[in-house]
Structure 1
Amino acid sequence: MFATRQISSLAKRAFSTTAASNGAKVAVLGAAGGIGQPLSLLLKQSSLISHLSLYDIVNTPGVAADLSHINSNSKVEGFTPKDNGLKNALTGCDIVVIPAGVPRKPGMTRDDLFNTNASIVRDLAQACAEHCPKAHILVIANPVNSTVPIVAEVYNKKGIFDPKRVFGVTTLDVVRASRFVSEVKKIPVEDAKITVVGGHSGVTIVPLLSQSGHKFTEEEVKALTHRIQFGGDEVVKAKDGAGSATLSMAFAGARFTNSLLEATVAGKKGIVEPTFVKSPIFEKDGVEFFATNVELGPEGVEKIHPVGKINEFEEGLIAAAVPELKGNIAKGKKFMA
């Protein structure tokens, strides 16, 4: 099964044998859910993780027992709320990944999820601030445009917010863009590298197709842009109410986590991933958080890349995204107020 002509970059990272001698302790909060289980499976393969700590309200010990039989070196433990489970799961963590929350159902937008998921993220962030205040926090729980500001506000209230260590995982938008463009242009996904900026829902997702090096017709640009922005709806509809984009999100979450591990644990340079972080790029417009390509380093965010040269169509997309993002961010901050 490994005799494929090309191995994905995620697989290369997962099976890397060049790990530092001391790996990281990584927690997955929501590890028994639709994203959490496949995400934990992918992370169990990483040689840069020495301890995989899984937490959810139910079933986590069983998930951990199952994963512990995989013959990679990381230790796996599963915790539930009883017996100070969340504290034990988080203590000593280097990275915390948060896919916890309720999934989208047909007809729901990411904002429809807000009230439930905002409370979940707030409570988990408070636990992280208490038990692993220096850990890198990777937020998958939707709506990311609002939940990342919630985490930041939790840390701000405690006076410990480090903008280099809080990330909204927007990698799925880039993964989708690469796949969709490769299908349209009939090229390998490795040759379809698409920068996606903005946020992580609907019109806030801005694919910069003009920077890809490929030529597109006007119709292709419009169709691809819409599909990249609303690709999650395809999955929700196809699953007929039984779930959302869990497997592709797990893949994207593992890709970002592994990239951060390469930068922080293995000390590799030049690791660049898209992510929704505190950013100066549109701060003048009241948008404190924005996703662009970010170079990762030992402390987390090393360098925030600018949007770069874009065309008139993409300028229009960003013009539509900025006020929407401003409202999403304000919604998260208002929840914490």
Structure 2
Amino acid sequence: MRRAKISIIGAGNVGATTAHWCAAAELGDIVLLDIPEVGDMPKGKALDLMQAGPIMGFDAKITGTSNYWDTADSDVVVITAGIPRKPGMSRDDLLATNAKIVGSVAEQVKKTSPNAIVIVVSNPLDAMVQRTWQVTGFPPYRVMGQAGVLDTARFRTFVAMELGVSVEDVSAMLLGGHGDTMVPLASCSSVSGIPLTQLLPKERIDAIVQRTRDGGAEIVQLLQKGSAYYAPAAATAQMIEAIIKDKKRLLPCAAYCDREYGVGGYYIGVPVILGKDGVEKIIELQLTPEEKAAFEKSVQAVKNLVETMNRLLRG
């Protein structure tokens, strides 16, 4: 039986660590691609990871390359390509630069893997997944953004730390864009089925929500150079597993919403059923008035981001 083929575009920390998690879980054969300017770096990382196989007990063919035809006919493509914000660079500069990079990647994916499911990890996430869909022209259920799994993992971690319980017993859900306006849902979060609101006072929940929103920035500040990659990569690998194994996982991710939640044609973080066809169903939740207002604010922020991107690209 043919193994699944997973191609990861961008062999930096997030891309290489995603390859690591996928190989360790034996999700399929992996292609790690980066631009020619980095030389043989993807080949070096791929070979190093393959040599871990005999020690850790996994079988996977891992290829490093700068040639998109090596990714041809992938089942899943992960896009991590892009640059971090640099000193003197405005948010618009970052948005325009990464939109061009991600757009160029999407053109290649469209050409080499026309039947793939695409998971976008590049930032600013909500705009980049919209750009990928625009360029590939793929059905929207085959293009999605990874953010919700990461953000709920951070929320779950902070709840577990606060209560002194196992992270395995904490369940959480969130909506909205990947950033300051994300909406962790206390009403849909629990510990072994006990509603979070029965275990923590509102002020502590609010503090955890805020720390979740600032989760990426907190790690950037601690690292001083670079940004998070272990958890973002693990979140991406969980989505890949749900797709390749057709697990029908109910996970939050950036999915295309038209009538759902009244969004009107944008990618936004929502709970979905993830399986072999990609986003197989979007789950619409009953929100409290406070949650609904926060979600609408987040949707508007994403719309503004996408419109700014489109304007900059028209240039």
Bucket of the pairwise TM-score, normalised by the shorter protein: 0.7 to 0.9
Question: How many angstroms apart in 2 are the aligned matches of 1:92 and 1:325?
Answer: 32
Deviation of 1:25 after TM superposition, in Å, equals 0.6
Q: How does 1:189-200 map to 2 (within 5 A)?
A: 189-200=167-178
- The offset of 1:277, in angstroms, is 1.2
CA distance in 2, matches of 1:249, 1:167: 15
CA contact (8 A) 1:104 1:243 kept: no
Preserved CA contact (<8 Å) 2:239 2:274: no
Matches of 2:14 and 2:272, distance apart in 1: 24
Deviation track 1:18-71 (CA, whole Å, cap 9, x = no partner) reads: xxx43211001112x12122111111113230x211101221111111112123
SS of residue matched to 1:115: helix
CA displacement 1:156-215 (0-9 Å, x = unmatched): 3xxxx2111101001211110110111122221122111011121111x11001111222
User: Following the alignment from structure 1 to structure 2, what is the Cα–Cα distance between the partners of residues 48 and 123?
Assistant: 27
Shift of the alpha carbon at 1:109?
A: 8.6
The runs of 5 or more residues in structure 2 that have no matched partner are 190-194
Contact 1:236/1:245, CA 8 A, preserved across alignment:
yes
Answer yes or no: is the 8 Å Cα contact 1:110–1:201 preserved in 2: no
In 2: Cα distance, 1:151 partner to 1:25 partner: 20
Answer yes or no: is 1:319 the counterpart of 2:314: no
Alignment partner, residue 192 of structure 2: none
Given that 2:156 and 2:171 are in contact with CA atoms closer than 8 Å, whether structure 1 keeps it comes out as yes
The structure 2 residue matched to 1:234, chosen from 213, 218, 237, is 218
| 2:226 corresponds to | 243
Compared CA separation, residues 282 and 326, structure 1 to 2 (3 A): farther
**In structure 2, what is the equivalent of residue 44 of structure 1?**
23
Provide the TM-score with structure 2 as the length reference.
0.88
What is the match of residue 294 of structure 1? 272
1:11-22 equivalences under 5 Å are: 21-22=1-2
The structure with more helix, counted as a fraction of residues: 2
Structure 2 counterpart of 1:252, one-letter code: A
Contact 1:294-1:305 at 8 Å conserved across structures:
yes
Compare 145-154 and 251-260 and name the one that shifted more.
251-260
Deviation, structure 1 residue 330: 2.3
Shift of 1:105: 6.1
Report the equivalent of 2:255: 277
1:165 lines up with 2:147 in the alignment: no
Residue 260 (str. 1) matches residue 243 (str. 2)? yes
**Cα offsets for 1:107-165 (capped at 9, x unmatched):** 98976631221111011000000111110111000011100111111023xxxx21111
Specify which of 13, 33, 38 is matched with residue 34 of structure 1.
13
Going from structure 1 to structure 2, the CA distance change for 1:39 and 1:106 (only over 3 Å counts) comes to: farther
Task: Give yes or no for the alignment of 1:98 onto 2:79.
Answer: yes
AA aligned opposite 1:26: I
* C-alpha displacement of 1:248: 1.8
RMSD after superposition: 2.1
Is this contact kept in 2: 1:54–1:78, CA < 8 A?
Answer: yes
Tell me by how many angstroms 1:249 deviates: 1.2
Structure 2 contact 96–313 (Cα < 8 Å) conserved: no
